[in-house]
């Protein structure tokens, strides 16, 4: 994210010391929710400056991730959603646009399901609502996940900012266990989302295009965008970013047009 100036700090939310940053200026803010095992920088570092040039952006780090603290409980998308809603209460923000990537996309959907009054529009990137939405072998790979085979850029980024470096193992294990035991959501849960929604997926993503298409049919006011690329490449996520690609810039432009439209 370079040396761009921003404000932020920590909020006490549901017994959690939660880290957040505020970039840019504007009316309805855009809340950025990172993926599993990630930080603000690893998920959004390559596009955050562009997003902030269009308006106010609030980037968060969820329980056990990056600079945010932890609690003695298992991770869940529902609890993460309650924490994001709690942060908005702390910041006295009545309504926001929510942009979530991967596990952050699941959290963003749960914000819309559990706290619909807080959500203006949704941008859901590479998320799922049922286990069969993943490519074959995903959950078999999750069973074998260890800290040793966690992507090095994610480990490096965590250790760079985490107050407690020894907590990396805890974060990894909590994220893995959430995904190992994640349950299917009902069709009705997606049908309850009232916010206008933009669903984005890569044509070689870990979530299938067919699953994302199904989600677009269930969410009442959803639009679908399929982009060329693997998981995260089209938003410049650190593990898959191509510095020469113009696709992340295109993604930002499409997102901004969606958010500014009727």
Decide: helix, strand or coil at residue 98: strand
Which token pair is 168?
């990396």
pLDDT reported for residue 163: 85
CA atoms 116, 179, 187, 214: torsion sign: positive
Residues with Cβ < 8 Å from 44, sequence gap 6 or more?
32, 34, 51, 59, 101, 235
pLDDT reported for residue 5: 78
pLDDT reported for residue 4: 63
Query: Under a CB-based contact definition with an 8 Å cutoff, are residues 175 and 147 in contact?
Result: no
| Cβ atoms within 10 Å of 184's Cβ, excluding its own | 12
Report how far apart, in Å, the C-alpha atoms of 175 and of each of 49, 55, 74, 203 are: 28, 31, 9, 25
Give the DSSP letter of residue 163.
Answer: S
Question: What is d(CA 9, CA 21) in angstroms, rounded to the nearest whole number?
Answer: 6
Please report, in tens digits, the pLDDT of each residue of the chain (262 residues total): 344 678 989 999 999 999 999 999 999 999 999 999 999 999 999 999 999 999 999 999 999 999 999 999 999 999 999 999 999 999 999 999 999 999 999 999 999 999 999 999 999 999 999 999 999 999 999 999 999 999 999 999 999 999 888 999 999 999 999 999 999 999 999 999 999 999 999 999 999 999 999 999 999 999 999 999 999 999 999 999 999 999 999 999 999 999 999 8
Give the DSSP letter of residue 151.
Answer: -
Question: What is d(CA 198, CA 189) in angstroms, rounded to the nearest whole number?
Answer: 17
Q: DSSP labels for 179-209?
A: HHTPPPPPHHHHHT--SEEEEEEEEE-SB-H
Beta bridge partners of 225: 200
pLDDT reported for residue 143: 95
Q: Name residue, tokens 């955050």.
A: 48
Question: What is d(CA 127, CA 105) in angstroms, rounded to the nearest whole number?
Answer: 5
Q: Taking the CA atoms of the chain, what radius of gyration do you get in angstroms?
A: 17
pLDDT reported for residue 8: 85
pLDDT reported for residue 41: 97
CATH 3.30.70.3270 fits 7-260, yes or no: no
E strand spans, 102-148: 119-125
């Amino acid at each position: 994210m370079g040396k761009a100036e921003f404000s932020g700090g920590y909020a006490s939310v549901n017994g959690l010391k939660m880290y957040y940053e505020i970039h840019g200026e504007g009316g309805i803010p855009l809340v950025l929710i990172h993926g599993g095992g990630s930080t603000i920088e690893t998920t959004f570092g390559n596009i955050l400056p562009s997003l902030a040039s269009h308006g106010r952006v609030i980037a968060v780090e969820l329980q056990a991730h990056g600079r945010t603290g932890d609690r003695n409980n298992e991770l869940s998308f529902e609890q993460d959603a309650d924490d994001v809603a709690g942060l908005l209460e702390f910041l006295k923000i009545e309504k926001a646009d929510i942009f979530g990537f991967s596990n952050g996309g699941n959290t963003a959907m749960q914000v819309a399901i559990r706290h619909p009054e807080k959500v203006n529009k949704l941008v859901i990137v590479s998320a799922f609502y049922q286990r069969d939405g993943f490519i074959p072998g995903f959950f078999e790979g999750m069973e074998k996940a260890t800290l040793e085979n966690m992507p090095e850029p994610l480990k490096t980024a965590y250790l760079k900012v985490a107050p407690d470096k020894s907590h990396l193992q805890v974060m990894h294990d909590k994220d893995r266990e959430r995904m190992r035991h994640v349950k299917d959501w009902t069709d009705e849960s997606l049908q309850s989302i009232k916010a206008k929604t933009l669903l984005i997926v890569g044509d070689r993503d870990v979530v299938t295009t067919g699953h994302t298409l199904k989600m677009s049919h269930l969410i009442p006011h959803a639009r679908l965008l399929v982009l060329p690329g693997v998981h995260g490449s089209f938003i410049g996520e650190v593990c898959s970013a191509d510095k020469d690609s113009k696709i992340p810039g295109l993604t930002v432009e499409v997102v901004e047009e969606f958010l500014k439209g009727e």
